[in-house]
Amino acid sequence: MYPSVYYVDKTSGTIGDVLLAYGVTEWLSGLLPEGRGIEIRLSDRGGAFEIRLEGLDGIPEEWVTTAPQPGLLKYLGTPKTIEKCPPGIPLVDYQAEREQQAHYWEAFRQLSPEDRRRADKVLREQGIKRPHPDLPVWILINTQKAISSYNKLVVTWYEHRDVYPRLAGLMLRLFGAFPNPVEVIVEEWAALVQEAGLAISGQETAVQILNPQLAKGVNRPKAQKLLEQNLKSFWLLEFLRYVGLYRAGIPIMVQGSSDRKTYVPLPHEMIWSSTDRILRDYRAAMRANTAIKSDILAVLRYMNVYLTDWRDAQQDSEPLFAWAISQPGNHASGIAAVFYKDMGSAHAVLDMSVLKLPRWMPDPRDVADAEEYLALLREHQIIIASLEEARSDENTLLRTYRRFLTTGDLRVFFDFCAGLGALAMSLLNSNDARERRRARLFSLTTIERMIAMREDLPYYEIFQNAGFQRMAAAIRHATFYPQWNKSKRRETEYDPEYGLGQKLRQQAPYPDKFLAELAAFVHRYQAETLRKMEHPLVSAKGQARRPTLSEEDLADIAALVDQYGSEVVCELLVAAGYSWPRRYEAESEEASAEG
């Protein structure tokens, strides 16, 4: 009997290890008979990934000896390679798949905006299928010039069809021990193929789409010279990495360039039956975008997919998510990102990073919690999508948001909100209608929800203070309200005050100066409000009504500064002041739909 726990060593610390873990898990799932109540759990155990077969004491020998060889990969046939595919091996016609993709998107562009929202259904009725979900992986293999080594691995796998049970036994022994006894298994595999009369090389090129840490001539034990040659690896490991790439890799183009990125969720505690659904939906949700926005949306969309599937599963009679892991960050620890720069003749790995999944959302307890979090994530995605990375100020905002996303620091989020407020004021003042439509702010409801989620921090106590609430409302009435009304060509008696948030933030490190700047604003605000209210015509029309402030409100802010510090109070005040107030949130939804 073979063990019920398997391991994949972390030998490189890159996506190569992760893809191998996914590949081994996918292969093991096909080895197990259905209907036995066996669940596979893929976990990160530090020095290795652990694959545990729960509900099984071990894999019986007869399951292995009678197992049919699974068709894990297909031969990729391009105009240059399709005729070389040996008979009996599953084949993908790459050119036909690309033509189908072009046909689909050409038909998509002809649809009305309303039909685009249900494009799959509309086009399916016209006999036009959506591009194959594996097409991004096929494109990656072809554009990275890895098709020759890939097809060789596929052929090598199928050449073992007559000795597959013995190969499967070697694979179970390879991954059934920690650390993996690779050298021992390679020797036993060599004896197996020699006995079977198979002329197969045990080494294959370790391509960079699977092993981004490798490059020609830079991984020698002693750095005495560089050699123009490819690095090699045991073919079975590379084959299984490709299996993992199909299962969990998300290759995309970087918008506006020929650069590429590949995203791979990093396992923390994954239940395989539900992970299959999550990964499928996640790949479908990803689209080409600019570099920083791609990183941000890779995280937000993973969280969105996870929570959507979790919510839907709670309503099933037999939920796939019937276990305690309800937090996306418990399921995957982050998203690995590899950036491939187009160098003309080839792509080179320029950056490898890990985007951590944020932990600022508590575990959803029920469907209502999941719905609330999904609404919050939708607002985040709309705002990020509205920013243009090519503009320096918006590029800075995107970098700030990415820092918040990976750190979970709400003060970084408040910094982002303040910058977003300044940008929105500028966009709303534009003569270009398209620019005005790009203006976005977080809703006051969303800011309140995010603050309330962090029970370990005092921000909610600050936010709930009556003087703080009135001061934030006054900032909105002095900045957002009149600017928004002007952009809608509505009559307003007040001119918007520009740069208020920036002035307050400049003085935030100095409590006395911050309070003095705030007091100066209160004086201007009160004077103008009272003057307008005293005007008989304006008062009769009821257009000058905006809340007034009192000395008690300023005293409340001063007390908060004494207790929590001027920087925290200022950051939160500006974030709340530059937000969609509740009375405008419906218009915010309309603007999002238009934009």
Whether residues 450 and 589 share a domain: the answer is yes
* 190 falls within a domain: no
Pick from 58, 65, 67, 57: which is nearest to 33 by CA?
67
Average confidence (pLDDT) over 396-425? 92
Whether residues 428 and 313 share a domain: the answer is no
Average confidence (pLDDT) over 274-302? 91
Q: What burial class does residue 249 get, using C-beta atoms within 10 Å of its C-beta: 0-12 exposed, 13-18 middle, 19+ buried?
A: buried
Task: State both tokens at 389.
Answer: 């990375």
Over residues 209-262, the pLDDT tens digits come to: 998 887 554 555 555 555 555 678 899 999 999 999 999 999 999 988 889 999
Whether residues 323 and 381 share a domain: the answer is yes
Name the amino acid, one letter, at 487.
Answer: S
pTM strictly above 0.75: yes
Over residues 573-593, the pLDDT tens digits come to: 999 999 987 555 445 444 444
* 502 falls within a domain: yes
**Residue ending a domain, choose from 387, 420, 455:** 387
pLDDT of residue 312: 83
pLDDT of residue 298: 94
Whether residues 285 and 346 share a domain: the answer is yes
> Within 13 Å of residue 371, how many CA atoms lie on the same side as its CB?
5
Whether residues 364 and 506 share a domain: the answer is no
Over residues 69-110, the pLDDT tens digits come to: 999 999 999 999 999 999 999 999 999 999 999 999 999 999
Q: How far apart are CA 452 and CA 576, in angstroms?
A: 13
pLDDT of residue 77: 95
Percent of the chain with pLDDT strictly greater than 70: 90
Q: How far apart are CA 32 and CA 2, in angstroms?
A: 12
**Residue ending a domain, choose from 387, 422, 437:** 387
Whether residues 445 and 578 share a domain: the answer is yes
pLDDT of residue 329: 63
* 288 falls within a domain: yes
Residue 493 scores a pLDDT above 80: no
Where does the pLDDT of residue 537 fall: very low under 50, low under 70, confident under 90, or very high at 90 and above?
A: very low
- Three-class DSSP category at 262: strand
Whether residues 440 and 331 share a domain: the answer is no
Find the angle CA(383)-CA(595)-CA(419) to the nearest 5 degrees: 30
**Residue ending a domain, choose from 353, 387, 421:** 387
* 501 falls within a domain: yes
Average confidence (pLDDT) over 363-380? 89
Percent of the chain with pLDDT strictly greater than 90: 59
Across 108-117, 287-296, 398-407, 536-545, least confident range: 536-545
Whether residues 467 and 424 share a domain: the answer is yes
Entry field: residues in the chain: 595
Task: State both tokens at 168.
Answer: 């499967």
Whether residues 366 and 441 share a domain: the answer is no
Whether residues 337 and 423 share a domain: the answer is no
Range of the domain at 560: 409-594
Phi, psi at residue 456, to the nearest 5°? -80, -5
Name the amino acid, one letter, at 244.
Answer: G
* 255 falls within a domain: yes
Q: Directed axis angle between helix 392-407 and helix 410-428, to 10°?
A: 160
Looking at residue 202, the DSSP 8-state letter turns out to be S
pLDDT of residue 323: 46
* 293 falls within a domain: yes
Of residues 181 and 202, the one with the higher pLDDT is 181
Q: With beta carbons less than 8 A apart as the criterion, state whether 406 and 355 touch.
A: yes
> Rounded to whole angstroms, what are the CA distances from 218 to 176, 213, 221, 225, 226?
32, 10, 9, 9, 6
Find the angle CA(27)-CA(32)-CA(36) to the nearest 5 degrees: 150
Where does the pLDDT of residue 512 fall: very low under 50, low under 70, confident under 90, or very high at 90 and above?
A: very high
Average confidence (pLDDT) over 120-139? 92
Residue 180 scores a pLDDT above 80: yes
Pick from 64, 405, 11, 451: which is nearest to 219 by CA?
11
Whether residues 533 and 443 share a domain: the answer is yes
Phi, psi at residue 40, to the nearest 5°? -105, 130
Whether residues 381 and 487 share a domain: the answer is no
Write down the residue that tokens 């320029």 correspond to: 350
Number of domains the chain contains: 2
* 93 falls within a domain: no
pLDDT of residue 220: 56
pLDDT of residue 274: 83
Residue 350 scores a pLDDT above 70: yes
